[in-house]
Structure 1
Protein backbone atom coordinates (compact mmCIF):
# COMPACT_ATOMS: atom_id res chain seq x y z
CA UNK A 1 0.00 0.00 0.00
CA UNK A 2 1.41 3.39 -0.99
CA UNK A 3 2.13 5.95 1.68
CA UNK A 4 0.01 9.11 1.92
CA UNK A 5 1.63 12.08 0.19
CA UNK A 6 2.08 15.19 2.34
CA UNK A 7 2.86 18.52 0.66
CA UNK A 8 4.95 20.66 3.01
CA UNK A 9 5.09 24.42 2.47
CA UNK A 10 8.37 26.11 3.37
CA UNK A 11 10.30 22.88 3.75
CA UNK A 12 13.66 24.64 4.05
CA UNK A 13 12.45 26.96 6.84
CA UNK A 14 12.05 26.43 10.57
CA UNK A 15 8.38 25.37 10.67
CA UNK A 16 8.25 23.42 7.42
CA UNK A 17 11.67 21.92 8.12
CA UNK A 18 10.53 20.65 11.51
CA UNK A 19 7.43 19.11 9.94
CA UNK A 20 9.46 17.50 7.17
CA UNK A 21 11.93 15.95 9.62
CA UNK A 22 9.11 14.56 11.76
CA UNK A 23 7.31 13.12 8.73
CA UNK A 24 10.50 11.40 7.54
CA UNK A 25 11.21 10.08 11.05
CA UNK A 26 7.72 8.59 11.27
CA UNK A 27 8.26 6.50 8.14
CA UNK A 28 4.52 6.65 7.41
CA UNK A 29 4.43 9.30 4.70
CA UNK A 30 5.87 10.36 1.37
CA UNK A 31 6.84 14.02 1.49
CA UNK A 32 6.53 16.59 -1.28
CA UNK A 33 8.76 19.41 -0.05
CA UNK A 34 8.07 22.86 -1.47
CA UNK A 35 10.80 25.46 -1.81
CA UNK A 36 11.45 28.40 -4.09
CA UNK A 37 15.05 27.34 -4.74
CA UNK A 38 15.54 23.64 -5.39
CA UNK A 39 19.28 24.11 -5.99
CA UNK A 40 20.07 25.45 -2.51
CA UNK A 41 22.27 23.36 -0.24
CA UNK A 42 19.36 22.88 2.16
CA UNK A 43 17.06 21.69 -0.64
CA UNK A 44 19.69 19.22 -1.86
CA UNK A 45 20.10 17.85 1.66
CA UNK A 46 16.34 17.41 1.96
CA UNK A 47 16.14 15.67 -1.42
CA UNK A 48 18.66 13.07 -0.25
CA UNK A 49 16.30 11.84 2.50
CA UNK A 50 14.10 8.78 1.95
CA UNK A 51 10.57 9.27 0.59
CA UNK A 52 11.14 12.98 -0.09
CA UNK A 53 10.56 14.80 -3.38
CA UNK A 54 11.65 18.44 -3.59
CA UNK A 55 9.36 20.63 -5.71
CA UNK A 56 9.95 24.21 -6.81
CA UNK A 57 6.98 26.34 -5.82
CA UNK A 58 6.21 29.99 -5.14
CA UNK A 59 3.18 29.93 -2.84
CA UNK A 60 2.07 33.33 -4.12
CA UNK A 61 1.32 31.70 -7.49
CA UNK A 62 -1.86 29.70 -7.92
CA UNK A 63 -0.41 27.55 -10.71
CA UNK A 64 2.51 26.52 -8.49
CA UNK A 65 0.12 25.50 -5.72
CA UNK A 66 -2.00 23.51 -8.19
CA UNK A 67 1.08 21.59 -9.28
CA UNK A 68 2.24 21.09 -5.69
CA UNK A 69 -1.12 19.87 -4.37
CA UNK A 70 -2.03 17.67 -7.35
CA UNK A 71 -2.28 14.13 -5.99
CA UNK A 72 -1.35 15.14 -2.44
CA UNK A 73 -3.35 13.60 0.40
CA UNK A 74 -2.40 16.06 3.14
CA UNK A 75 -0.92 19.55 3.29
CA UNK A 76 0.99 21.46 5.92
CA UNK A 77 0.53 25.14 5.13
CA UNK A 78 1.71 28.45 6.48
CA UNK A 79 2.69 31.90 5.25
CA UNK A 80 5.72 34.04 6.02
CA UNK A 81 4.53 37.54 6.93
CA UNK A 82 8.09 38.86 6.98
CA UNK A 83 8.74 37.91 3.36
CA UNK A 84 9.74 41.17 1.63
CA UNK A 85 6.85 40.66 -0.80
CA UNK A 86 4.46 41.06 2.16
CA UNK A 87 6.01 43.17 4.90
CA UNK A 88 5.98 46.10 5.05
CA UNK A 89 4.72 47.06 1.60
CA UNK A 90 1.79 44.66 1.03
CA UNK A 91 0.39 43.37 4.34
CA UNK A 92 -2.93 42.02 2.90
CA UNK A 93 -0.90 39.68 0.68
CA UNK A 94 -0.38 37.22 3.54
CA UNK A 95 -4.10 36.65 3.96
CA UNK A 96 -4.57 36.40 0.19
CA UNK A 97 -1.87 33.74 -0.05
CA UNK A 98 -3.32 31.72 2.82
CA UNK A 99 -6.88 31.75 1.51
CA UNK A 100 -5.65 30.87 -1.98
CA UNK A 101 -3.83 27.90 -0.44
CA UNK A 102 -7.08 26.68 1.10
CA UNK A 103 -9.02 27.16 -2.15
CA UNK A 104 -6.46 25.30 -4.25
CA UNK A 105 -6.17 22.47 -1.73
CA UNK A 106 -9.94 21.99 -1.73
CA UNK A 107 -10.14 22.11 -5.54
CA UNK A 108 -7.25 19.63 -5.77
CA UNK A 109 -9.00 17.05 -3.61
CA UNK A 110 -6.66 17.31 -0.63
CA UNK A 111 -8.12 15.18 2.16
CA UNK A 112 -6.75 17.08 5.17
CA UNK A 113 -4.95 20.38 5.73
CA UNK A 114 -3.02 21.48 8.84
CA UNK A 115 -2.73 25.29 8.93
CA UNK A 116 -0.08 26.98 11.06
CA UNK A 117 -1.82 30.01 12.49
CA UNK A 118 -1.70 32.56 15.29
CA UNK A 119 -4.46 33.95 17.51
CA UNK A 120 -6.59 36.93 16.48
CA UNK A 121 -4.99 39.71 18.54
CA UNK A 122 -7.69 42.23 17.65
CA UNK A 123 -10.46 39.88 18.76
CA UNK A 124 -8.73 38.75 21.96
CA UNK A 125 -7.91 42.33 22.99
CA UNK A 126 -11.41 43.59 22.04
CA UNK A 127 -9.90 45.96 19.50
CA UNK A 128 -7.10 47.43 21.63
CA UNK A 129 -4.28 45.62 19.82
CA UNK A 130 -5.49 45.90 16.24
CA UNK A 131 -2.16 46.25 14.46
CA UNK A 132 -0.55 42.86 15.10
CA UNK A 133 -1.02 42.05 11.44
CA UNK A 134 0.98 38.80 11.32
CA UNK A 135 -1.31 37.36 14.00
CA UNK A 136 -4.62 38.60 12.62
CA UNK A 137 -3.92 37.69 8.99
CA UNK A 138 -3.16 34.07 9.86
CA UNK A 139 -6.20 33.95 12.18
CA UNK A 140 -8.44 35.16 9.35
CA UNK A 141 -7.12 32.35 7.14
CA UNK A 142 -7.77 29.83 9.93
CA UNK A 143 -11.37 31.00 10.21
CA UNK A 144 -11.73 30.81 6.43
CA UNK A 145 -10.30 27.28 6.41
CA UNK A 146 -12.60 26.04 9.15
CA UNK A 147 -15.65 27.20 7.16
CA UNK A 148 -14.36 26.19 3.72
CA UNK A 149 -15.54 22.59 3.67
CA UNK A 150 -11.93 21.41 3.45
CA UNK A 151 -11.12 19.00 6.31
CA UNK A 152 -8.56 20.91 8.34
CA UNK A 153 -6.99 21.50 11.73
CA UNK A 154 -5.23 24.55 13.14
CA UNK A 155 -1.98 24.69 15.10
CA UNK A 156 -0.86 27.88 16.84
CA UNK A 157 2.80 27.86 17.93
CA UNK A 158 3.96 29.97 20.85
CA UNK A 159 7.10 32.10 20.88
CA UNK A 160 10.00 30.12 19.43
CA UNK A 161 12.63 29.12 21.99
CA UNK A 162 15.05 29.12 19.06
CA UNK A 163 14.72 32.92 18.86
CA UNK A 164 17.20 33.13 21.72
CA UNK A 165 19.86 31.74 19.40
CA UNK A 166 19.48 34.87 17.27
CA UNK A 167 19.05 37.22 20.26
CA UNK A 168 22.50 36.78 21.81
CA UNK A 169 23.12 38.47 25.17
CA UNK A 170 25.67 41.23 25.50
CA UNK A 171 28.28 41.13 28.23
CA UNK A 172 28.35 43.59 31.11
CA UNK A 173 31.46 42.84 33.16
CA UNK A 174 31.09 39.08 33.74
CA UNK A 175 27.30 39.02 33.36
CA UNK A 176 25.41 38.09 30.22
CA UNK A 177 22.55 40.53 29.69
CA UNK A 178 19.40 39.56 27.79
CA UNK A 179 17.34 42.42 26.35
CA UNK A 180 14.04 42.74 24.52
CA UNK A 181 12.14 45.95 23.79
CA UNK A 182 8.71 46.62 25.27
CA UNK A 183 9.00 43.51 27.45
CA UNK A 184 8.91 44.00 31.23
CA UNK A 185 11.00 41.43 33.14
CA UNK A 186 8.08 39.69 34.86
CA UNK A 187 5.60 39.54 31.95
CA UNK A 188 5.00 35.91 31.00
CA UNK A 189 4.45 34.43 27.56
CA UNK A 190 4.13 30.94 26.12
CA UNK A 191 7.05 29.17 24.40
CA UNK A 192 7.67 26.22 22.10
CA UNK A 193 10.75 24.58 20.63
CA UNK A 194 10.00 24.58 16.92
CA UNK A 195 12.84 22.18 16.12
CA UNK A 196 12.02 19.67 18.87
CA UNK A 197 8.22 19.72 19.18
CA UNK A 198 6.41 21.51 16.38
CA UNK A 199 6.87 18.97 13.60
CA UNK A 200 6.02 16.05 15.87
CA UNK A 201 2.82 17.85 16.88
CA UNK A 202 1.80 18.32 13.24
CA UNK A 203 2.51 14.65 12.49
CA UNK A 204 0.40 13.62 15.50
CA UNK A 205 -2.44 15.68 14.02
CA UNK A 206 -1.93 14.02 10.62
CA UNK A 207 -1.86 10.55 12.16
CA UNK A 208 -5.43 11.03 13.37
CA UNK A 209 -7.34 13.43 11.08
CA UNK A 210 -10.75 12.46 12.40
CA UNK A 211 -9.76 13.34 15.94
CA UNK A 212 -8.23 16.73 15.12
CA UNK A 213 -10.39 17.89 12.21
CA UNK A 214 -11.98 21.24 13.04
CA UNK A 215 -9.89 21.72 16.18
CA UNK A 216 -7.23 24.26 17.17
CA UNK A 217 -4.11 23.29 19.13
CA UNK A 218 -2.34 25.98 21.13
CA UNK A 219 1.13 24.52 20.84
CA UNK A 220 3.33 25.65 23.72
CA UNK A 221 5.27 23.76 26.35
CA UNK A 222 6.33 26.45 28.83
CA UNK A 223 5.16 29.75 30.34
CA UNK A 224 8.02 32.09 31.20
CA UNK A 225 8.97 35.68 31.95
CA UNK A 226 12.32 37.08 30.82
CA UNK A 227 13.54 36.88 34.41
CA UNK A 228 12.62 33.17 34.28
CA UNK A 229 14.57 32.79 31.04
CA UNK A 230 17.65 34.43 32.53
CA UNK A 231 17.43 32.28 35.67
CA UNK A 232 17.21 29.06 33.63
CA UNK A 233 20.14 30.07 31.43
CA UNK A 234 22.20 30.79 34.53
CA UNK A 235 21.20 27.50 36.18
CA UNK A 236 22.07 25.37 33.16
CA UNK A 237 25.25 27.12 32.01
CA UNK A 238 26.66 28.20 35.35
CA UNK A 239 27.24 31.63 33.82
CA UNK A 240 25.70 34.76 35.37
CA UNK A 241 22.69 36.02 33.38
CA UNK A 242 20.24 38.85 33.92
CA UNK A 243 17.49 40.57 31.94
CA UNK A 244 17.23 44.30 31.23
CA UNK A 245 14.40 45.72 29.11
CA UNK A 246 15.70 47.32 25.90
CA UNK A 247 14.55 50.73 24.62
CA UNK A 248 11.24 50.68 22.73
CA UNK A 249 12.84 51.99 19.55
CA UNK A 250 14.70 48.69 19.13
CA UNK A 251 11.45 47.11 17.86
CA UNK A 252 10.00 47.76 14.42
CA UNK A 253 6.34 48.73 14.20
CA UNK A 254 5.01 45.19 13.74
CA UNK A 255 7.06 43.59 16.52
CA UNK A 256 6.39 46.53 18.81
CA UNK A 257 2.65 45.98 18.38
CA UNK A 258 3.14 42.29 19.13
CA UNK A 259 5.15 42.91 22.32
CA UNK A 260 2.49 45.29 23.61
CA UNK A 261 -0.17 42.66 22.93
CA UNK A 262 1.94 40.03 24.73
CA UNK A 263 2.18 42.27 27.79
CA UNK A 264 -1.61 42.28 28.10
CA UNK A 265 -2.55 38.82 26.84
CA UNK A 266 0.48 36.59 26.29
CA UNK A 267 0.30 34.77 22.98
CA UNK A 268 -3.20 33.31 23.32
CA UNK A 269 -5.22 35.42 25.73
CA UNK A 270 -4.75 32.61 28.24
CA UNK A 271 -7.09 32.61 31.22
CA UNK A 272 -5.35 33.00 34.61
CA UNK A 273 -6.28 29.47 35.70
CA UNK A 274 -5.08 27.82 32.46
CA UNK A 275 -1.84 25.86 32.78
CA UNK A 276 0.77 25.46 30.05
CA UNK A 277 1.02 23.08 28.22
CA UNK A 278 -2.64 23.43 27.30
CA UNK A 279 -4.88 20.32 27.47
CA UNK A 280 -5.06 19.88 23.70
CA UNK A 281 -1.26 19.94 23.39
CA UNK A 282 -1.01 17.22 26.04
CA UNK A 283 -3.69 15.27 24.19
CA UNK A 284 -1.37 14.95 21.19
CA UNK A 285 0.53 12.35 23.20
CA UNK A 286 4.04 13.58 22.41
CA UNK A 287 6.85 14.45 24.82
CA UNK A 288 7.00 18.25 25.09
CA UNK A 289 10.29 20.08 25.61
CA UNK A 290 10.55 22.52 28.51
CA UNK A 291 12.73 25.60 28.15
CA UNK A 292 15.22 24.14 30.63
CA UNK A 293 15.44 20.92 28.61
CA UNK A 294 15.91 22.92 25.44
CA UNK A 295 18.71 25.02 26.97
CA UNK A 296 20.47 21.84 28.14
CA UNK A 297 20.28 20.51 24.59
CA UNK A 298 21.61 23.78 23.18
CA UNK A 299 24.00 24.54 26.05
CA UNK A 300 27.14 24.91 23.85
CA UNK A 301 25.46 27.91 22.20
CA UNK A 302 24.88 29.57 25.59
CA UNK A 303 28.10 28.59 27.38
CA UNK A 304 30.56 30.41 25.14
CA UNK A 305 32.94 32.79 26.96
Structure 2
Protein backbone atom coordinates (compact mmCIF):
# COMPACT_ATOMS: atom_id res chain seq x y z
CA UNK A 1 0.00 0.00 0.00
CA UNK A 2 1.08 3.62 -0.52
CA UNK A 3 -0.16 6.99 0.63
CA UNK A 4 0.58 8.47 -2.80
CA UNK A 5 -2.47 9.25 -4.96
CA UNK A 6 -3.23 6.49 -7.45
CA UNK A 7 -3.41 7.32 -11.16
CA UNK A 8 -4.92 4.96 -13.70
CA UNK A 9 -3.09 5.13 -17.05
CA UNK A 10 -4.73 3.55 -20.08
CA UNK A 11 -2.66 2.56 -23.08
CA UNK A 12 0.26 2.30 -20.68
CA UNK A 13 2.44 0.29 -23.07
CA UNK A 14 1.76 2.64 -25.98
CA UNK A 15 3.32 5.95 -26.96
CA UNK A 16 1.10 8.35 -25.00
CA UNK A 17 0.24 6.19 -22.01
CA UNK A 18 3.81 4.95 -21.74
CA UNK A 19 5.13 8.50 -21.62
CA UNK A 20 2.65 9.41 -18.89
CA UNK A 21 3.25 6.27 -16.83
CA UNK A 22 7.04 6.56 -16.96
CA UNK A 23 7.01 10.21 -15.94
CA UNK A 24 4.62 9.69 -13.03
CA UNK A 25 6.74 6.78 -11.78
CA UNK A 26 9.94 8.84 -12.08
CA UNK A 27 8.37 11.73 -10.20
CA UNK A 28 7.69 9.60 -7.13
CA UNK A 29 4.60 11.70 -6.34
CA UNK A 30 2.06 9.30 -7.81
CA UNK A 31 1.33 5.59 -7.67
CA UNK A 32 0.53 4.21 -11.12
CA UNK A 33 -1.96 1.55 -12.14
CA UNK A 34 -0.99 0.75 -15.72
CA UNK A 35 -3.67 -0.99 -17.75
CA UNK A 36 -2.78 -3.01 -20.82
CA UNK A 37 -4.28 -5.83 -22.82
CA UNK A 38 -1.04 -7.81 -22.54
CA UNK A 39 0.59 -7.64 -19.09
CA UNK A 40 3.20 -10.18 -20.25
CA UNK A 41 4.71 -7.88 -22.87
CA UNK A 42 8.22 -6.48 -22.53
CA UNK A 43 6.82 -2.96 -22.17
CA UNK A 44 4.53 -4.10 -19.34
CA UNK A 45 7.43 -5.86 -17.61
CA UNK A 46 9.47 -2.65 -17.81
CA UNK A 47 6.66 -0.72 -16.10
CA UNK A 48 6.41 -3.36 -13.38
CA UNK A 49 10.16 -3.04 -12.82
CA UNK A 50 9.71 0.72 -12.37
CA UNK A 51 7.06 0.14 -9.71
CA UNK A 52 3.77 0.27 -11.59
CA UNK A 53 0.81 -1.93 -10.72
CA UNK A 54 0.28 -3.48 -14.16
CA UNK A 55 -3.28 -4.72 -14.66
CA UNK A 56 -4.69 -6.73 -17.55
CA UNK A 57 -7.63 -4.80 -18.94
CA UNK A 58 -9.33 -4.77 -22.32
CA UNK A 59 -11.26 -1.50 -22.45
CA UNK A 60 -13.95 -3.18 -24.53
CA UNK A 61 -14.82 -5.37 -21.50
CA UNK A 62 -17.01 -3.38 -19.05
CA UNK A 63 -16.29 -5.74 -16.16
CA UNK A 64 -12.55 -5.45 -16.56
CA UNK A 65 -12.84 -1.67 -16.76
CA UNK A 66 -14.89 -1.47 -13.55
CA UNK A 67 -12.34 -3.59 -11.69
CA UNK A 68 -9.38 -1.60 -13.00
CA UNK A 69 -10.74 1.79 -11.87
CA UNK A 70 -11.50 0.80 -8.28
CA UNK A 71 -9.93 3.24 -5.83
CA UNK A 72 -8.24 5.53 -8.35
CA UNK A 73 -7.66 9.20 -7.51
CA UNK A 74 -7.04 10.34 -11.08
CA UNK A 75 -6.75 8.90 -14.57
CA UNK A 76 -5.22 9.46 -17.99
CA UNK A 77 -7.50 8.21 -20.76
CA UNK A 78 -6.31 7.61 -24.30
CA UNK A 79 -8.03 5.38 -26.85
CA UNK A 80 -6.73 4.06 -30.16
CA UNK A 81 -9.12 4.68 -33.02
CA UNK A 82 -7.22 2.38 -35.37
CA UNK A 83 -7.88 -0.68 -33.21
CA UNK A 84 -11.39 0.30 -32.09
CA UNK A 85 -12.69 2.07 -35.22
CA UNK A 86 -16.43 2.85 -34.85
CA UNK A 87 -16.42 1.53 -31.26
CA UNK A 88 -13.98 4.20 -30.04
CA UNK A 89 -16.57 6.64 -28.70
CA UNK A 90 -18.55 3.93 -26.90
CA UNK A 91 -15.44 2.42 -25.30
CA UNK A 92 -14.03 5.81 -24.27
CA UNK A 93 -17.39 6.99 -22.92
CA UNK A 94 -17.81 3.87 -20.80
CA UNK A 95 -14.26 4.10 -19.46
CA UNK A 96 -14.61 7.79 -18.60
CA UNK A 97 -17.91 7.12 -16.83
CA UNK A 98 -16.34 4.30 -14.82
CA UNK A 99 -13.39 6.48 -13.79
CA UNK A 100 -15.67 9.29 -12.65
CA UNK A 101 -18.07 6.90 -10.87
CA UNK A 102 -15.07 5.51 -8.97
CA UNK A 103 -14.52 8.98 -7.50
CA UNK A 104 -11.47 10.15 -9.44
CA UNK A 105 -10.71 13.79 -8.70
CA UNK A 106 -9.24 14.50 -12.14
CA UNK A 107 -9.60 12.78 -15.50
CA UNK A 108 -7.09 13.82 -18.17
CA UNK A 109 -8.58 12.98 -21.56
CA UNK A 110 -6.36 12.78 -24.65
CA UNK A 111 -8.49 14.18 -27.45
CA UNK A 112 -8.33 15.87 -30.84
CA UNK A 113 -10.22 18.86 -32.27
CA UNK A 114 -13.66 18.27 -33.78
CA UNK A 115 -13.19 18.13 -37.55
CA UNK A 116 -16.35 16.94 -39.31
CA UNK A 117 -18.55 19.89 -38.34
CA UNK A 118 -15.77 22.48 -38.69
CA UNK A 119 -14.85 21.28 -42.18
CA UNK A 120 -18.48 21.08 -43.30
CA UNK A 121 -18.07 17.35 -43.76
CA UNK A 122 -15.34 17.86 -46.36
CA UNK A 123 -12.64 16.06 -44.37
CA UNK A 124 -12.89 12.48 -43.11
CA UNK A 125 -11.25 12.39 -39.69
CA UNK A 126 -13.07 9.73 -37.69
CA UNK A 127 -10.04 9.40 -35.39
CA UNK A 128 -10.79 12.98 -34.32
CA UNK A 129 -14.55 12.90 -34.11
CA UNK A 130 -15.20 10.19 -31.51
CA UNK A 131 -12.70 11.80 -29.16
CA UNK A 132 -14.12 15.26 -29.80
CA UNK A 133 -17.68 14.07 -29.12
CA UNK A 134 -16.67 12.70 -25.74
CA UNK A 135 -14.67 15.85 -25.00
CA UNK A 136 -17.70 18.06 -25.63
CA UNK A 137 -19.99 15.87 -23.52
CA UNK A 138 -17.61 15.74 -20.58
CA UNK A 139 -17.12 19.49 -20.63
CA UNK A 140 -20.86 20.12 -20.79
CA UNK A 141 -21.43 17.80 -17.82
CA UNK A 142 -19.10 19.81 -15.58
CA UNK A 143 -17.05 16.71 -14.77
CA UNK A 144 -13.54 17.16 -13.30
CA UNK A 145 -11.89 16.69 -16.68
CA UNK A 146 -8.89 18.30 -18.36
CA UNK A 147 -8.56 17.77 -22.10
CA UNK A 148 -5.17 17.49 -23.77
CA UNK A 149 -4.92 17.97 -27.54
CA UNK A 150 -1.89 16.24 -29.04
CA UNK A 151 0.07 17.60 -32.00
CA UNK A 152 1.92 15.53 -34.57
CA UNK A 153 4.85 13.67 -33.00
CA UNK A 154 8.49 14.52 -33.68
CA UNK A 155 9.12 10.79 -33.31
CA UNK A 156 7.33 10.21 -36.62
CA UNK A 157 9.84 12.24 -38.61
CA UNK A 158 12.81 9.82 -38.77
CA UNK A 159 10.84 6.71 -39.72
CA UNK A 160 7.83 8.07 -41.61
CA UNK A 161 8.70 11.43 -43.11
CA UNK A 162 12.36 11.87 -43.95
CA UNK A 163 13.53 10.16 -47.14
CA UNK A 164 17.11 9.90 -48.34
CA UNK A 165 17.63 11.35 -51.82
CA UNK A 166 20.00 10.05 -54.50
CA UNK A 167 22.54 12.78 -53.71
CA UNK A 168 22.66 11.85 -50.00
CA UNK A 169 20.49 14.71 -48.79
CA UNK A 170 17.08 14.26 -47.20
CA UNK A 171 13.60 15.54 -47.93
CA UNK A 172 10.09 15.28 -46.57
CA UNK A 173 6.82 15.77 -48.40
CA UNK A 174 3.72 17.35 -46.86
CA UNK A 175 0.60 19.07 -48.20
CA UNK A 176 0.88 22.06 -45.86
CA UNK A 177 2.18 25.07 -47.79
CA UNK A 178 3.76 27.61 -45.45
CA UNK A 179 1.15 27.24 -42.69
CA UNK A 180 2.75 26.58 -39.28
CA UNK A 181 2.40 22.95 -38.20
CA UNK A 182 2.07 22.20 -34.46
CA UNK A 183 4.33 19.38 -33.30
CA UNK A 184 5.59 17.83 -30.06
CA UNK A 185 7.69 15.00 -28.69
CA UNK A 186 5.39 12.36 -27.23
CA UNK A 187 8.07 11.93 -24.55
CA UNK A 188 7.17 15.43 -23.33
CA UNK A 189 3.53 14.47 -22.87
CA UNK A 190 4.28 12.70 -19.58
CA UNK A 191 5.71 15.77 -17.80
CA UNK A 192 2.90 17.91 -19.22
CA UNK A 193 0.22 15.54 -17.89
CA UNK A 194 2.07 15.40 -14.57
CA UNK A 195 1.81 19.18 -14.33
CA UNK A 196 -1.89 19.03 -15.22
CA UNK A 197 -2.49 16.48 -12.46
CA UNK A 198 -0.55 18.62 -10.00
CA UNK A 199 -2.72 21.63 -10.92
CA UNK A 200 -5.90 19.62 -10.25
CA UNK A 201 -9.14 21.64 -10.05
CA UNK A 202 -7.46 24.80 -11.35
CA UNK A 203 -7.53 23.29 -14.85
CA UNK A 204 -10.83 21.39 -14.73
CA UNK A 205 -12.89 22.10 -17.85
CA UNK A 206 -9.85 23.41 -19.71
CA UNK A 207 -8.09 22.34 -22.92
CA UNK A 208 -4.31 22.14 -22.81
CA UNK A 209 -2.56 21.87 -26.16
CA UNK A 210 0.47 19.60 -26.11
CA UNK A 211 2.71 21.50 -28.51
CA UNK A 212 6.45 22.10 -28.40
CA UNK A 213 6.99 23.80 -31.75
CA UNK A 214 4.91 25.76 -34.22
CA UNK A 215 6.83 26.46 -37.43
CA UNK A 216 6.15 26.35 -41.17
CA UNK A 217 7.44 23.09 -42.67
CA UNK A 218 10.34 24.85 -44.42
CA UNK A 219 11.55 26.11 -41.04
CA UNK A 220 11.40 22.54 -39.70
CA UNK A 221 13.58 21.50 -42.64
CA UNK A 222 16.10 24.18 -41.72
CA UNK A 223 16.04 23.07 -38.07
CA UNK A 224 16.72 19.45 -39.03
CA UNK A 225 19.50 20.56 -41.38
CA UNK A 226 21.22 22.30 -38.47
CA UNK A 227 20.72 19.40 -36.08
CA UNK A 228 21.62 16.52 -38.39
CA UNK A 229 24.39 18.26 -40.30
CA UNK A 230 22.97 17.21 -43.68
CA UNK A 231 20.67 19.17 -45.99
CA UNK A 232 16.97 18.54 -45.42
CA UNK A 233 14.42 19.95 -47.87
CA UNK A 234 10.67 20.44 -47.62
CA UNK A 235 8.57 19.51 -50.63
CA UNK A 236 5.08 20.92 -50.66
CA UNK A 237 2.54 18.94 -52.67
CA UNK A 238 -1.18 19.41 -53.25
CA UNK A 239 -3.53 17.77 -50.79
CA UNK A 240 -5.05 15.63 -53.55
CA UNK A 241 -1.62 14.33 -54.56
CA UNK A 242 -0.63 13.37 -51.03
CA UNK A 243 -3.84 11.42 -50.52
CA UNK A 244 -2.85 9.05 -53.35
CA UNK A 245 0.73 8.40 -52.23
CA UNK A 246 1.57 4.75 -51.36
CA UNK A 247 2.04 5.52 -47.67
CA UNK A 248 0.35 4.01 -44.58
CA UNK A 249 -2.89 5.90 -43.82
CA UNK A 250 -2.01 8.44 -46.56
CA UNK A 251 -5.60 9.62 -46.93
CA UNK A 252 -6.14 10.01 -43.19
CA UNK A 253 -2.83 11.85 -42.79
CA UNK A 254 -3.64 14.10 -45.75
CA UNK A 255 -7.03 14.98 -44.27
CA UNK A 256 -5.47 15.64 -40.86
CA UNK A 257 -2.83 17.96 -42.35
CA UNK A 258 -5.41 19.68 -44.53
CA UNK A 259 -7.49 20.28 -41.41
CA UNK A 260 -4.58 21.93 -39.56
CA UNK A 261 -3.84 24.00 -42.68
CA UNK A 262 -7.44 25.19 -43.12
CA UNK A 263 -8.25 25.55 -39.43
CA UNK A 264 -5.07 26.58 -37.57
CA UNK A 265 -6.12 26.82 -33.94
CA UNK A 266 -2.77 26.40 -32.18
CA UNK A 267 -1.05 29.69 -31.39
CA UNK A 268 2.23 30.93 -29.95
CA UNK A 269 0.31 31.45 -26.71
CA UNK A 270 -0.49 27.72 -26.63
CA UNK A 271 3.20 26.90 -27.02
CA UNK A 272 4.07 29.31 -24.21
CA UNK A 273 1.39 27.82 -21.98
CA UNK A 274 2.60 24.27 -22.59
CA UNK A 275 6.14 25.38 -21.80
CA UNK A 276 4.89 27.10 -18.65
CA UNK A 277 3.43 23.81 -17.46
CA UNK A 278 6.46 21.81 -18.62
CA UNK A 279 9.54 24.07 -18.86
CA UNK A 280 11.53 21.25 -20.47
CA UNK A 281 9.21 21.11 -23.50
CA UNK A 282 11.46 20.74 -26.56
CA UNK A 283 11.39 22.20 -30.03
CA UNK A 284 11.94 19.85 -32.96
CA UNK A 285 15.55 21.02 -33.20
CA UNK A 286 16.33 20.58 -29.50
CA UNK A 287 14.61 17.18 -29.55
CA UNK A 288 16.68 16.07 -32.55
CA UNK A 289 19.82 17.32 -30.79
CA UNK A 290 18.91 15.34 -27.65
CA UNK A 291 17.83 12.13 -29.40
CA UNK A 292 20.44 11.22 -32.04
CA UNK A 293 19.50 7.56 -31.68
CA UNK A 294 16.19 8.38 -33.37
CA UNK A 295 18.06 9.20 -36.58
CA UNK A 296 20.89 6.65 -36.39
CA UNK A 297 19.33 4.12 -38.77
CA UNK A 298 18.33 6.83 -41.22
CA UNK A 299 21.80 8.40 -41.36
CA UNK A 300 24.01 5.34 -41.57
Q: By how many angstroms is 1:215 displaced?
A: 0.9
Equivalent in the alignment of 2:260: 262
Q: Does 1:287 align with 2:285?
A: no
3-state SS in 2 of match to 1:223: strand
Structure 1 residue 277: Cα displacement: 4.0
Equivalent pair of 2:115/2:125 in contact (CA under 8 Å): yes
2:8 maps to which residue? 7
Matched with 1:275 is: 268
Match of 1:135 in 2: 128
Determine the structure 2 residue equivalent to 1:32: 33
Q: TM-score when scaled to structure 1?
A: 0.88
Q: Residue 228 of structure 1 aligns to a residue in which SS?
A: helix
User: Which of the pair is proportionally richer in helix?
Assistant: 2
Query: CA 1:298 to 1:279, structure 2 compared with 1: closer, same or farther past 3 Å?
Result: closer
Q: What is the correspondence of 1:100-111 to structure 2 with a 5 Å cutoff?
A: 100-111=94-105
Residues in 1 aligned to 2:99 and 2:89: alpha-carbon distance in whole angstroms? 15
Provide the C-alpha distance between the structure 2 equivalents of 1:242 and 1:276, rounded to a whole number of angstroms: 28
Name structure 1 gaps, 5 residues minimum: none
Aligned to 1:253: 251
Measured in 1, the distance between the counterparts of 2:17 and 2:8 equals 10
- How far is 1:253 from its partner? 3.3
Contact 1:223 1:276 in 2 (8 A): no
Contact 2:143 2:205 in 1 (8 A): no
What is the CA RMSD across the aligned residues, in angstroms? 2.0
Secondary structure, aligned partner of 1:242: strand
What secondary structure sits across from 2:81 in the alignment?
A: coil
Q: Which runs of 5+ in 2 are unaligned?
A: none
Is contact 1:118-1:157 (8 Å) kept?
yes
2:227 corresponds to 1:236: yes
SS in 2 for 1:147: helix
Give the whole-Å Cα distance in 1 for the aligned partners of 2:143 and 2:33. 20
Q: Structure 1, residues 159-188: CA drift from partner, whole Å, max 9, x if none?
A: 1111113214222212112224xx145232
Checking the alignment, whether the CA contact within 8 Å between 2:88 and 2:130 is kept in structure 1 is yes
Counterparts of 1:113 and 1:301 in 2: how far apart (Å)? Answer: 32
Question: Is the contact made by 1:192 and 1:221 (CA closer than 8 Å) also made in structure 2?
Answer: yes
Aligned to 1:193: 185
In structure 1, how many angstroms separate the alpha carbons of the residues matched to 2:121 and 2:56?
40
Cα deviation 1:256-296 (Å, max 9, x = unaligned): 32122122124xx24xxx42544542442532211110010
- Per the alignment, residue 292 of structure 2 pairs with 299
Deviation at 1:154, TM superposition (A): 0.7
Are positions 1:65 and 2:59 aligned together?
no
Taking the aligned partners of 2:10 and 2:289, their CA distance within structure 1 comes to 30
How many residues are matched?
289
| TM-score (ref. length: structure 2) | 0.89
Shift of 1:45: 1.1
| 8 A Cα contact 1:3 1:30, kept in partner | yes
1:23 corresponds to: 24
Asked whether 1:162 is paired with 2:163, we answer: no
Q: Deviations over 1:41-68 (max 9, x none)?
A: 1111111113x11000111121111011
Counterpart for residue 49 of structure 1:
50
Among residues 113, 128, 134, which one is paired with 1:119 in the alignment?
113
